[in-house]
Structure 1
Amino acid sequence: MATSTSEYQHDEPSSPALAPWERFSRWLHCVCIVVFDLELGQAIEDVYPAEAELSTSEKRNICYLSFPDSNSAAMGDTQFHFRIRSDRRLELDSSEVLVDRDSPAVLKPDIAHYYGFVYFRQEKDSTSKRGYMQKSVVLLSRLPYVKFFSVISKTVAEGYFEHGMVSIESSCHDIDQWRLPIPGRTLQLPISGKVLQIRIPSKKDKPGAVSSPEVYGQAIPAVTIVSSVQDVDSFSCLQPVLPHLNVLWELVLVGEPIVVMASTPDICATTVQALINMIKPLKYASDFRPYFTIHDNEFKEYTTKTQAPPSIILGVTNPYFAKTLQHWPHVLVVDSCSNPGLSSTIKRTKNLKGLTTLDTTPGLYTKYLPTMKEDKFIIRRLLKQVPPGTRPQEAQNAMLTRHFLEQTQSFIIPLERYITTLMPLQKNISPWKSAPNLKPFDVEEFIRSLNKAGPQLTSDIKGNWQTLYRKFFKSPNFDGWLRSRQAEILEALQLRQIEMMGAADITAYIKGKAEVEIVDLILRLKDKLVNIKCNNSNVSISEVTRHRLTEHLIFVVSILPPDLQGILKNI
């Protein structure tokens, strides 16, 4: 989606001057250098900036997740990402409130987790007892910008491996000069002598819209355009299991526990992210770990057989998991696949006991009975290349992304249509009372509405939609969607109520009111204005409404006795 020049030139949100590292902290928490020592094991060698706080458990998790969980002697570089729980929930300030409020659900800052973007290098080193050096550069962020930070981590890491910590310091100072990641902006971001251009998606964008490659402002040489902040190479990792795409979409949609097994962390992390992206624009509300090791704090919780696995997607590479997770209901085995024709020969199996090593044939090992029929058309389109291998990978990914986007939208549209019927009537909204609540979501009422307004109106996929919705209603994804939509609608109702208050005849309203009622009105007006000024509210108020509310406040205070006016000024 294109952005206007005026949008690009929009100033930062009105706030006091940002302190050193504040701009940096809107993008990254810190950069860690993690090294493998033969005697000490994994250890954090450096953290930049040094002021960045990390708890002992966070450091431990970063150390273990920064290296491939295998004894491979292969030389070279590997990139992947992980996600860990943070010991401190993010407290949003005014600019972060803007990012959170205006971002699509899938791109909001993660207040409870960190994303780690790893660039791992292994090369021969005669001075090491092991005979080779193993070191990782890790970028830690609250933003789920997987593709964007993969590009950044490569740039930062290559500079570090050539020039050392001085390059890390320089890159971090570049990032500290970046404009804030406000949704809707197109940004040119200088780093290490390069300039990257990205557009931060906004929830106002049309789903599936592609960022414009247009460069705003003066022409800058060697601008690298990052077309998406989050999308990954879904086709490459899902190619070995193409016949099971619809089943996988269902499993992710209804929040079933899934283990993704691969031989390397880059493949398993990309696959987990591809699964999460399958249900966009719906946000995956359960936990997910793109890369998970036996050293994780939750290892015992997830491998125990005394209770059912939680709603989570785990990406693993250690062969040990093939034995310890056989009790999980859904295991997806993937790896690189150079033969497109292989996909059509793989069969889904219900036998999990045969899964003992990561050398198992790629496929979906599950007892799940899908409610919807397979969409063979999309599989044929993805496999049809004349001659084979000639269709660009970007085109394959775009085709796959569009397919799942349309399928998920067909599923969501009836939910969106129904929730609008739960909103209060316009006549029931008063400028002088709190905005009314929505009616409760009635599952049975919604199910009855499907005959006339179900997904069959926009989707050609056949199956039992009612059963699929009932499974969805029991999942964290439904709870997350409902809470988010209820919050958005209530904010819209609050905005409407405040606008009505600003446009109302204040003189007529207070006529005949007791002094205590007038004081109560003043306190409510002051509370709304203070919250608006401090950006404590997600409700975006126009300057006209804000001015009218201020005039109302001044007028109402003026009619009170002087002594009471003095008291109210100090409240």
Structure 2
Amino acid sequence: MDAPSGAGPRTVTCGSPGTAEPTAAGRSARAPTAPWARFSAWLECVCVVTFDLELGQALELVYPSDFQLTDKEKGSICYLSFPDSHSGCLGDTQFSFRMRQCGGQRSPWHSEDRRYNSGAPVALQRDPAHYFGYVYFRQVKDSSVKRGYFQKSLVLVSRLPFVRLFQSLLSLIAPEYFDKLAPCLEAVCNEIDQWPAPVPGQTLNLPVMGVVIQAHIPSRVDKPEPSPLKQCDQNLLPAPVVLASVHELDLFRCFRPVLTHVQMLWELMLLGEPLLVLAPSPDVSSELVLALTSCLQPLKFCCDFRPYFTIHDSEFKEFTTRTQAPPNVVLGVTNPFFIKTLQHWPHVLRVGEPKMSGDLPKQVKLKKPSRLKTLDTKPGLYTAYTAHLHRDKALLKRLLKGVQKKRPGDLQSALLRRHLLELTQSFIFPLEHYMASLMPLQKNITPWKTPPQIRPFRQEDFLRSLEHSGPQLTCILKGDWLGLYRRFFKSPHFDGWYRQRHREMAHKLEALHLEALCEADIETWMKDKSEVEVVDLVLKLREKLVRAQGHQLPVKAVTLQRVQLYIEMAIGSLPKDLQAVLCPP
């Protein structure tokens, strides 16, 4: 098979984590119409990491080979793609990691990000500063290898948090790749380069290796329950692999050992508290961290999180320093060394080997941080935190009954997901209601005046409003809701939520002002106005038109057409010399 342009293999070894290539800021010179433009709508690159006796982990292959990674990024991918020696993973293991992007501005082929992000739920937007790595690691005995083991990882690097889609893709690609190597990977990358771009709200058929993966791309207007998938074209053979979701994990399986503490963990996530998750293997670690960070949906998780983290990571010193307070990060690790290093962290969750039987595994106990030891620390949630809300015992009974009746795992997960969604919505609704009250009334928005400002968010006013419009209206859980809100105000999630809502309201205000201008009688207004005032109107309307298109304001196409018409009308009323200045040839 002829190698496609820019798809040849290359071998690079792990450089020093602190060094960077000088070409990193450019990432790549490829234009959106160049080869691999459609591929890059889904993936940044595909990497193969192998174990070299002399070099340790080494980056054996990068597709497309002209994708530029800094030395620091190469080192991170190498270390994060292999389980550490404490995990002892034999056979095939799938897990995920998230790493900081070190290369400055992104390439031009990501110019469509704004369009995708404007329609995607905030929690599923493309990450502008991090890469997600989806790993398929194989370790099997092999007498032909000097070390006695075949050890290799296939890694999909993306900015999309579609963990379920990419793990499903890897389960198809990786076994075939480990048997046939490079030619297989070439063909797969070419197939992905033919996929349609992910468009929120659409159900897509994604062909790869003789299989069609059918996936619905979530939209921010979707209902919380999964959308029914369209049936695949009858001519597509074989029958498609239908994904129930591109991103949702099996929450029940992830939370099985900590079900009694799910609400406390939800509170810790809501408040952006630092949490160390110590698990027996990278697959358990990464799934638990991703489950924790997803339990705030539809809120976006605004803190840092690392589903799998090692002592070799370039941010190790930054996260483990004792000279300042622990950062707002959820850290998934497998090396017990972290227990000793992060003893000063306020919350540590250690889980044991997953139990595969039908019974509910022994629940981890709540323990004081002072009980933290070093390598022999037993499973438990080590924290001095006291939950603000009472535990929902009815939910635990339903889940336990489901275990006893052998209820399917996806139904158990749906129960848990609905509970967490309703809990988050009950918490957020009063904030949304109060925020909406800060918006100026539409009757106060007039065409020839600057629109009024959004009123400031006053925390005490909001807390007083809870008596009549608090979470008690939609949630049966009792507890110290006021105390929870007060702590929430100090968290990164309040800041993230407020900035997003304020930005959306400001855009709405701009759109309403634009519509008011379009409904005004511009000819009558211009009759007694000076040339300077008319020119000023033209410039302002042009600025509003650019902002409306650039920020994708919620305005109708007919409104934008009318603005353009008004601009032309205003210019036409001016002398020829001014028209020439405003409309140069």
State the TM-score, normalizing by the size of structure 1: 0.92
Secondary structure at the aligned position of 2:324 is classed as coil
Q: Give the deviation of 1:72 after TM superposition.
A: 5.1
Q: Which moved more, 1:519-528 or 1:309-318?
A: 519-528
Q: Give the deviation of 1:540 after TM superposition.
A: 4.2
Q: Give the deviation of 1:428 after TM superposition.
A: 2.1
Instruction: Return the match for 1:355 from 367, 370, 373.
Output: 373
Which residue number in structure 1 is paired with residue 556 of structure 2? 542
Say if 1:558 and 1:139 are closer, same or farther in 2 by CA, change over 3 A. same
Which residue number in structure 2 is paired with residue 270 of structure 1? 287
Q: Distance in 1 between matches of 2:364 and 2:155?
A: 36
Q: Unpaired segments of 5 or more residues in structure 1?
A: 1-15
Instruction: Return the match for 2:309 from 266, 281, 292.
Output: 292
Which residue number in structure 2 is paired with residue 320 of structure 1? 337
Which residue number in structure 1 is paired with residue 22 of structure 2? none
Which residue number in structure 2 is paired with residue 7 of structure 1? none
Q: Distance in 2 between matches of 1:389 and 1:204?
A: 35
Question: What amino acid maps onto 1:431 in structure 2?
Answer: P
Instruction: Return the match for 1:456 from 469, 472, 489.
Output: 472
Question: What amino acid maps onto 2:584 in structure 1?
Answer: N
Which residue number in structure 2 is paired with residue 202 of structure 1? 219
Question: What amino acid maps onto 1:350 in structure 2?
Answer: K
Secondary structure at the aligned position of 1:272 is classed as helix
Question: What amino acid maps onto 1:300 in structure 2?
Answer: K
Superposed counterparts of 1:1-150, under 5 Å? 18-71=33-86, 74-87=89-102, 88-90=104-106, 95-150=112-167
Say if 1:72 and 1:427 are closer, same or farther in 2 by CA, change over 3 A. closer
Which residue number in structure 1 is paired with residue 532 of structure 2? 516
Question: What amino acid maps onto 2:91 in structure 1?
Answer: G
Q: Distance in 1 between matches of 2:293 and 2:91?
A: 28
Which residue number in structure 2 is paired with residue 405 of structure 1? 421
Q: Distance in 1 between matches of 2:528 and 2:321?
A: 69
Q: Give the deviation of 1:173 after TM superposition.
A: 1.3
Instruction: Return the match for 1:225 from 242, 246, 252.
Output: 242
Secondary structure at the aligned position of 1:553 is classed as helix
Question: What amino acid maps onto 2:367 in structure 1?
Answer: T
Considering Cα pairs closer than 8 Å and 6+ residues apart, tell me whether 1 or 2 has the greater RCO.
Answer: 1
C-alpha distance after superposition, 1:357-383 (max 9, x if no partner)? 3x6443211110111111111111111
Q: Which moved more, 1:431-440 or 1:540-549?
A: 431-440
Q: Give the deviation of 1:530 after TM superposition.
A: 4.1
Question: What amino acid maps onto 2:415 in structure 1?
Answer: M
Q: Unpaired segments of 5 or more residues in structure 2?
A: 1-30
Q: Give the deviation of 1:514 after TM superposition.
A: 1.4
| Identical aligned residues as a percent | 50
C-alpha distance after superposition, 1:128-160 (max 9, x if no partner)? 221011111111111111111111222232232
Say if 1:371 and 1:135 are closer, same or farther in 2 by CA, change over 3 A. same
Secondary structure at the aligned position of 2:366 is classed as coil
Question: What amino acid maps onto 1:557 in structure 2?
Answer: I
The answer on whether the counterparts of 2:429 and 2:471 sit within 8 Å (CA) in structure 1 is yes
Secondary structure at the aligned position of 1:384 is classed as helix
Q: Which moved more, 1:488-497 or 1:310-319?
A: 488-497
Secondary structure at the aligned position of 1:331 is classed as strand
Say if 1:500 and 1:415 are closer, same or farther in 2 by CA, change over 3 A. same
Instruction: Return the match for 1:558 from 549, 572, 578.
Output: 572
State the TM-score, normalizing by the size of structure 2: 0.90
The answer on whether the counterparts of 2:296 and 2:424 sit within 8 Å (CA) in structure 1 is yes
Q: Distance in 2 between matches of 1:253 and 1:334?
A: 21
- The answer to whether the aligner puts 1:330 opposite 2:383 as a matched pair is no
Q: Give the deviation of 1:194 after TM superposition.
A: 1.1
Say if 1:272 and 1:478 are closer, same or farther in 2 by CA, change over 3 A. same
C-alpha distance after superposition, 1:218-256 (max 9, x if no partner)? 552321111111111221121111111111111000011
Instruction: Return the match for 2:275 from 258, 274, 284.
Output: 258
Say if 1:91 and 1:20 are closer, same or farther in 2 by CA, change over 3 A. closer
Q: Give the deviation of 1:345 after TM superposition.
A: 5.6
Q: Which moved more, 1:377-386 or 1:76-85?
A: 377-386
The answer on whether the counterparts of 1:118 and 1:139 sit within 8 Å (CA) in structure 2 is yes
Question: What amino acid maps onto 1:494 in structure 2?
Answer: E
Say if 1:146 and 1:17 are closer, same or farther in 2 by CA, change over 3 A. closer
The answer on whether the counterparts of 1:243 and 1:344 sit within 8 Å (CA) in structure 2 is no
Please provide the CA RMSD for this pair. 2.0
C-alpha distance after superposition, 1:456-490 (max 9, x if no partner)? 01101110000000110000011000001111111
Say if 1:435 and 1:60 are closer, same or farther in 2 by CA, change over 3 A. farther
Q: Which moved more, 1:508-517 or 1:371-380?
A: 508-517
Q: Distance in 2 between matches of 1:523 and 1:276?
A: 45
The answer on whether the counterparts of 1:503 and 1:548 sit within 8 Å (CA) in structure 2 is no
C-alpha distance after superposition, 1:341-363 (max 9, x if no partner)? 66566431114443323x64432
The answer on whether the counterparts of 1:236 and 1:337 sit within 8 Å (CA) in structure 2 is no
The answer on whether the counterparts of 1:34 and 1:46 sit within 8 Å (CA) in structure 2 is yes
Secondary structure at the aligned position of 1:485 is classed as helix
- The answer to whether the aligner puts 1:173 opposite 2:171 as a matched pair is no
Equivalent residue pairs, number: 551
Secondary structure at the aligned position of 1:328 is classed as coil
Secondary structure at the aligned position of 1:379 is classed as helix
Which residue number in structure 1 is paired with residue 11 of structure 2? none
- The answer to whether the aligner puts 1:157 opposite 2:157 as a matched pair is no
Which residue number in structure 2 is paired with residue 247 of structure 1? 264
Secondary structure at the aligned position of 1:301 is classed as helix
The answer on whether the counterparts of 1:256 and 1:312 sit within 8 Å (CA) in structure 2 is yes
Which residue number in structure 2 is paired with residue 474 of structure 1? 490
Secondary structure at the aligned position of 1:22 is classed as coil
- The answer to whether the aligner puts 1:307 opposite 2:321 as a matched pair is no
The answer on whether the counterparts of 1:80 and 1:118 sit within 8 Å (CA) in structure 2 is yes
